[in-house]
Chain A
């Protein structure tokens, strides 16, 4: 009975906290992007615009709910709900604090469903359902742009699920478990030098990239790209239904950040202040804050990526998944299997990952130039430059100015 009550309280806290956090993440995103573009950002409501999320939330609640006459009403209404539901459900197995600290009061638990043997697979399973929200929203809107957005989303998510799952398989092999708490505990017991990022740097990069693509975050937001598709799959949505879609997206962002910190950065472990052996009053609070800060760091990285890397073209997006990330993650998995089979030191994996990364860069660069050479209209670069001569106009301002 107590177990049930604690679970219910945890669920209530998580479900209550996440929308508020998401609201403030939007403010953070706007402030950060303003900072990156040398603007001021929202500053009208409250000190430094701190109450802006409340005003936004109120606006979204009170705005007129428009349901266009040409939509499939049932699916149109269900789609945003699916989006939020799956995003929140995935959070059920993510530990968001120290789960086995003896000092934690018994009525607080930092995971909704503890001890799930297949935690990681559960997250992927629920995450793979998230695409239904987008696809159905796009289809039910009965609008060309929305349908195109839905199509793009389904192709993208199905493709990126493969590298997403395969990049984590290496970690499953290293730690011999799919339980997130176990994976975290093993890194914590070994301290800083046994964080998985040292053994799987390439997998960490691929996992982070693929999960951005799964969440439809920039630079992978082909499904809603404003310049081509108006608003993509949410063109016809307004008010709270639109907000639900974005609640789902931001919840996804939070889950990704927690997962990356737990899988690769040792969870709440941090040298000196939060070790496995450290014991001082309220150490669990420090551990909680460490894990939260790691997740916050990744959220900031995700937001700043938005203003750093331009959006991919769709064929580039698919190429990245099928021709780069899937072979790379397969090679990474093979490497882990090799190291585990022959009981080598795990540090070989660090060297191997770096080597793999460099080799793949070389291969793709040479493939690129080979493809350019095989194009029908290809003229050798030297020849082309020579025929243009010095009188050409395409040589950039600097060279020109210097010549004069």
Chain B
């Protein structure tokens, strides 16, 4: 609350955002065209105000502009995804939201993460959604496309969650200071003479071997590493997080085998 009193802009934005989502939710009394457009406007204004209220001023203007474009884009597309009346549009807004998030990843110098997210989510998962929707919507939109159930509690609950996350992020100090990391990365990159103006760093520019102080020999020192290199990511994934990666792989394999096992055989009438 105290924080909101200091940032009235953010509070106003949040209120407008909530009101806008409620107006956008399908199934309210007035289903004329004007209401959703008004709701969209209110939501957009709310998101922009909230972001403007929360955000501070950074040193690099271009980065800031890109960050806010992607952040606002991701949030707005997320809102539109859950409020879209047509499931196909919902899936498309989801895709756009994912793409905006990938833009944020790129800004954080995580190009591999961005590309992998595009391949897996936008390229495969949402295409599969579209596939299913196109198969299922042969006879037009169903009743549950026109009405949202429990709109008010669902919206409020999700915003309580959002508030909890924001508050936690604001209260707890970050694990390592972002600015330190950035400066060190800059120093390293400058020392290694970057080939281009792109923010991606090729593996040749990795800092040379440092004395290993970590328990795991495979892991590189996070703070010293120019962020975004494939080599660092690979070493971290298959060094620090090897167990988690293997566990996830096993889980997927089990799910795969399960899917094959429960699918009907050809003799049982499947195609």
Residues of A within 8 A of B (CB): 3-4, 75, 113-118, 121-122, 124-126, 128-129, 131-132, 135-136, 138-139, 147, 150-151, 154-155, 157-158, 161, 165, 177-179, 182
Contacts and interface: CB of A to CB of B under 8 A. Distances in A.
A97 B202 CA distance: 21
Contact of A129 (B111, B122, B134): B122
Interface string B194-224: 0111101111000000000000000000000
B227 to A, nearest CB: 12
A42 B44 CA distance: 54
B127 A157 contact: yes
Given A118-B111, A150-B134, A129 B202 contact: no
Interface of B: 88, 92, 95, 111-112, 114-116, 118-119, 122-124, 127-128, 130-131, 134-135, 195-198, 200-203, 228-230
A175 B130 CA distance: 37
Contacts of B135: 151
B131 A129 contact: no
A165 B203 CA distance: 21
Contacts of A179: 202
A43 B112 CA distance: 49
Give the 5 A-B CB pairs with smallest separation, nearest first: A128-B123, A125-B118, A125-B115, A115-B196, A121-B115
A129 B119 CA distance: 8
Secondary structure class of chain B's binding surface, majority of residues: helix
Given A115-B196, A117-B230, A118-B111, A131 B202 contact: no
A299 B134 CA distance: 34
Given A3-B196, A117-B228, A154-B131, A131 B123 contact: yes
Nearest to A127: B123
Nearest to A140: B88
Contact of B229 (A117, A139, A182): A117
Contact of A115 (B88, B115, B134, B198): B198
Contact of A178 (B95, B128, B230): B230
B130 A139 contact: yes
Contacts of B195: 114-115
A286 B222 CA distance: 45
Contact of B118 (A4, A115, A129, A182): A129
A154 B130 contact: yes
Contacts of B130: 135, 139, 154
B118 A116 contact: no
B92 to A, nearest CB: 8
Nearest to B131: A154
Contacts of B128: 154, 158
28 contacts: A75-B88, A113-B198, A114-B196, A115-B196, A117-B111, A118-B230, A122-B115, A124-B115, A125-B118, A125-B119, A125-B123, A128-B123, A129-B122, A135-B131, A136-B92, A138-B134, A139-B88, A139-B134, A147-B134, A151-B134, A154-B128, A154-B130, A154-B131, A155-B131, A158-B123, A158-B127, A165-B119, A177-B203
The CB with the most chain A CB atoms within 10 A, among B111, B115, B134, is that of: B115
A117 B203 contact: yes
Contacts of B196: 3, 114-115
Nearest to A138: B134
Nearest to A162: B124
A218 to B, nearest CB: 22
